[in-house]
Amino acid sequence: MGYRRVVEDPAPEERQPRSTGWHERGTDEFSRVLAFSDGLFAIAMTLLVVGISLPVLRVAGDEAEMVRALNDLGPQILSFVISFAVIGRYWYAHHSFFAMLRAVDSG
């Protein structure tokens, strides 16, 4: 004859909340993960503009020199626009992905 071990269920006030590691949509933790990732994208997009240097004009108010200086910045501005568009597309895809999530886990 085998012995059976009986474990009593603790009283409700003695029960510890069980942490599953999952954070459902609508919880503060889920919102924090989304806000953190949005912040990373924002920082990356902001840092793109750091690579564009301001033109230095020898004569203030000379429109022709300003046009030449801005024309010299063309490759940097084009690089910024393309990089901004690529990161923006990834950010949009990231938000589309998060729209389908029901929960995130902490592990």
List, for residues 47-67, the tens digit of each pLDDT value.
998 888 888 888 777 888 888
Mean predicted lDDT score pLDDT of the chain: 81
Higher pLDDT, 89 or 101: 89
Model confidence, pTM:
0.65
pLDDT tops 70 at residue 18: no
The answer to whether 25 and 101 have CB atoms below 8 angstroms apart is: yes
* Cα–Cα distance measured from residue 99 to residue 92, given in angstroms and rounded to the nearest whole number: 11
Q: How many CB atoms lie within 10 A of CB 53?
A: 9
pLDDT tops 50 at residue 32: yes
